[in-house]
Amino acid sequence: MSWEPTLAHYLILSAAIFSIGMVGVMVRRNAIILFMSIELMLNAVNLTFIAFSRYRIDMDGHIFAFFVMAVAAAEAAVALAIVLHVFRHKRSVNVDEMQQLQY
Amino acid sequence: MEPLYSDSFYFLGLIVLMPMLGAIINGLFGAKLPAKLVNWVACGAMALAFTFALISFQALVNQGDGQEVGHLSYTAFQWIFSGSLSAEIAFLFDPLSAVLVLVITGVGLLIHIYSTGYMAEDPSKWRYFAYLNLFVFAMLLLALGKNMLVTFIGWEGVGMASYLLIGFWYTDAEKAAAGQKAFIVNRVGDFFFLLGMFILFFTAGTWDYLELEQMATTTATAAVLLPIALPVGVLIFLGCTGKSAQIPLYVWLPDAMAGPTPVSALIHAATMVTAGVFLLSRINWIFTLDPNLMAIVAVVGSLTAFMAATIAIVQTDIKKVLAYSTVSQLGFMFMAVGVGSFTAAVFHLMTHAFFKALLFLGAGSVIHGMHHEQDMRKMGGLRKYMPWTHATFLIGTLAIAGVPFFAGFYSKDLILWSALSNVHILNVEGVLATAQMDYFTTTLAPAVAAADGGPLSVLGGALAINWFVFIMGVLTAGLTAFYMFRAYFMTFHGECRADEETRSHIHESPSSMLVALIVLAFLSVVGGYIGWPHFIAAIFPAGVKSYALGLEYWLAEVFAVSDTYRVVGRFGAHPYLAEGIAAAVSVLVAGGGIALAYLMYVKRTDLPGVIYARATRLHYILSNKYFVDEGYFAAFVRPSILIGKAMTWFDKNIIAGLLVGGAAFMTQNLGQILRNLQSGNVQRYATYISLALALVVLAIFYPGCLA
């Protein structure tokens, strides 16, 4: 009697991961952690895509997942470059200190 | 044969244009022009206007064919044109407006000349003449209007000019307030006039006088006007009570004496205050549609005449006496209108313009000589110092008192006779004018003709209201003679009661002022000779007779509708009996009034004091003018002030405080709250997004859980 996870389990896991990422974005102050949280959310979405892909037995979800990965990679590259420069300038990666553009 | 109707008689436009140009030149450049030139511009404009008026009059006389006079008209331009509404600035010169225009321009010219002397010392003389010309311009519009709109423009214009001139010395708060009072009281009347005018316009679809007259005198179309005759008449009459100072809106005229004296003569005696009488004469065909309407006018006129005369008895300010006298004489004119003798009203309007202007100018001459002293108790014995003023003032006083062979006698006599012998205020319910005429010619006239039983049977045709108007008229005539001679004796006879200082300075006025006095005195004598009593005219030779009854023939066409009602006295065995009685009675009461004034103010100068001691209470009531002003203050002014205060409070606290202030307060505070949302903090934004998302998800999956 082997247990098979159903679609619902995947979705619950995905929602949990997404929520963790979302809360991370809202509460953490470290820019690096923020990006990690965003990656978490993107991965949660990817998990849903793949889960649905399996469930419906077609490949569309995979295509979406690949797109999301590509975009996430590009975004991470750009964002990390910005954070690196800010760090050089300010000796800190705390987002609360990145407020010059507000005024 | 149809008379010629000239409908492009451009001289009418020129009459109106001259004073307007004078007002513009003096008003815009007067301050920079030399004083002499200001005089010339103002008087020249008037002289030209008078000349053109004479030319128009001549043309009007010449175009008649001996039967009808006809009219001249001139359309200046079309002012408003919209749908069926067409408002033209057009002038009508018929026998009625001819009389008024000649009076306005003629008397106006004299008063302008007089003013050059009276106002010579005034620093802002140019302003005075600009206003005076402006007034004449508006008054001419009023008199010459071919439709009610032009009349109304003039009506408002004279009100404005009157306000400007009463408050001419505006640095004196009391005088400025008098101007405001006149303007506000008139505004009340104007509002009613406007209402009446609109009702008439919407019912008849036109405001051209000639078209309206055509409607009102044709049996078929008169049915349209009949139901609105009473409301329109009452509303327009209320407008007239404002402009012509009748009960209930007469209170402004005595205060209007705050203005320069020539202004009182021109505006508040000769021209503007008679506008109401003129307007009612202009629309006489509306009034003859409804006997009740006529009765209202007659009663109001009688009461005003009597009441103002009683107040005039105790006035001590020479101008105030003349002011109440004017109110009283205007009451006489409205009596004449009320008994359907429009001719008598216009006749009295004309003679009154002559002698009242003369009296005012005489009073001005006295005030000028006494260095602006107006209290008659400080005058007396001025005969010696001012012979010319004295002589002309005496003529004016005789004229207003109704002494035979002076102008006032003729017109007052015609009014009293009409009061006795016009029976058209018989209340025939809902009968059209033409049908009424049938009633008189078939029923009443034979009855009167058959009753050959002496004087009382002839007068038997008169009704209670006729008797009321007649008795009031006779009493007022007696009072008029008394108070005018009281004023005359107090001013010119006895010992001079002024102090030494003033007495040494009393002087006769300059010749520019005397010219006007002399010409007006002449007119105050001969002005009545175009309307002799019929029983005297009957013995004149035929050639003279048409002139002796000139005014009646001249106006016959304009008042064709209303003149058909003079029944008693035109029929029967005693055609002139009622007239003879009226004349005799009026001469008697005038003589009595003069004799009493002579007794009290020349012979037994202690008498007034004795009477005063006896009738202190009556004197108190009279000298306080029946407390009408106080009553109006309590009834209208104070409530208005209170309402105003309440409104102010409401505006300050509710409108400005709660609504306007509240809106601002709310916006500000909402902004204070909402600015916290726009922190620029990305993480906070993300929070909002997720919260919103959560709400959306909730709303989708569990509808109703948020409500």
Q: At what angle do helices B173-204 and B148-166 cross, to 10 degrees?
A: 170
Domains of chain A by residue range = 7-98
Query: Pick the residue with more confidence: B532 or B395?
Result: B395
How far apart CA B692 and CA B385 sit, in angstroms, is: 103
Burial class (CB in 10 A: 0-12, 13-18, 19+), B212: buried
Q: How far is CA B152 from CA B120, B155, B588, in A?
A: 34, 5, 42
Q: CA angle B21-B23-B28, nearest 5°? A: 100
Chain A residues with CB inside 8 Å of B680's CB?
A: 99, 102
Give yes or no for a contact between B315 and B324, defined as CB atoms under 8 angstroms apart.
yes
B569 has a pLDDT exceeding 60: no
Spell out the residues 6+ positions from residue B244 whose beta carbon is closer than 8 angstroms to its own: B273, B274, B275, B276, B277, B330, B333, B334
Q: Which of B678, B688, B690, B697 to mutate to test the interface with A (most CBs of A within 10 A)?
A: B690
Are A95 and B683 a contacting pair at CB < 8 A?
Answer: yes
The mean-pLDDT minimum among B135-139, B235-239, B455-459, B517-521 falls in B455-459
Q: Are B15 and B49 in contact (CB under 8 A)?
A: yes
Q: Average of pLDDT values for B229-242?
A: 91
CA distance B133 to B47: 12
Distance, CA of B221 to CA of B204 (rounded, Å): 9
Range with the lowest mean pLDDT among B16-30, B31-45, B562-576? B562-576
Residue B244 · residue B277 · CB < 8 Å: yes
B461-486 as b/e: b if 16+ CB within 10 A: bbeebbebbbebbbbbbbbbbbbbbb
**Of chain B residues 655-694, which have a CB less than 8 A from chain A?**
680, 682-683, 686-687, 690
Greatest mean pLDDT among B121-125, B428-432, B441-445, B606-610 lies in B121-125
For chain B, give the mean pLDDT.
Answer: 84
A27 touches chain B (CB under 8 A): yes
How many of the other CB atoms lie within 10 Å of CB of A2? 3
Chain A residues in contact with B682 by the CB 8 A cut-off are: 95
CB B386 within 8 A of CB B438: no
> When comparing pLDDT for B542 and B180, which is higher?
B180
Show residues of chain B in contact with A99, CB under 8 Å.
680
Give the position of tokens 């006698």.
Answer: B409
Q: Which of B680, B682, B690 sits opposite A22 (nearest CB)?
A: B690
Look at residue B3 and tell me whether its pLDDT is greater than 50. no
> Which residue has 């003096």 as its token pair?
B26
At residue B66 the predicted structure's pLDDT band, cuts being 50, 70 and 90, is low
Q: At a CB cut-off of 8 Å and minimum separation 6, what does B531 contact?
A: B343, B347, B410, B411, B414, B548, B549, B550, B551, B552
Distance of CA B617 to the CA centre of its chain: 32
- The CA-atom distances, in angstroms, between B212 and each of B198, B222, B451, B616 are 13, 10, 39, 53
Please report, for residues B113, B297, B371, the alpha-carbon distance to residue B17 in angstroms, rounded to integers and kept in the order given. 19, 35, 37
Neighbours of A1 (CB within 10 A): 2
Q: Which residues contact B25 (CB under 8 A, 6 or more apart)?
A: B41
Q: Write the CB contacts of B3 (distance below 8 Å, at least 6 apart in sequence).
A: B63, B64, B65, B67, B68, B69, B70
C-alpha span between B418 and B423 (Å, rounded) = 9
Chain B residues with CB under 8 Å of A26 CB are: 683, 686-687, 690
Task: Write the CATH number of the domain with boundaries A7-98.
Answer: 1.10.287.3510
From CA B397, how far away is CA B141, in angstroms rounded?
Answer: 31
pLDDT at B425 over 70: no
pLDDT 10s digits, A23-60 = 999 898 898 999 999 999 999 999 999 999 999 999 99
Question: Does the structure show a pLDDT above 90 at B454?
Answer: no
Residue range B307-318: average pLDDT?
90
CB contacts, 8 Å: A27 with chain B: 683
Residue of A nearest to B693 (CA): A22
| B328-356 average pLDDT score | 92
Q: What is the distance between the alpha carbons of residues B71 and B94, in angstroms, rounded to a whole number?
A: 4
Q: What is the pLDDT of residues B176-217, one digit of tens each?
A: 999 999 999 999 999 999 999 999 998 888 888 988 888 887
Residue A75 CB coordination number (10 Å): 14
- Say whether pLDDT at B113 is over 90: yes
Residue A26 forms contact with B (CB below 8 Å): yes
Q: Which residue has the tokens 């209108």?
A: B337
A57 shares contact with chain B (CB less than 8 Å): no
Query: Is B198 in contact with B170 (CB distance < 8 Å)?
Result: no
Q: How many CA atoms lie within 13 A of B118 on its CB side?
A: 30
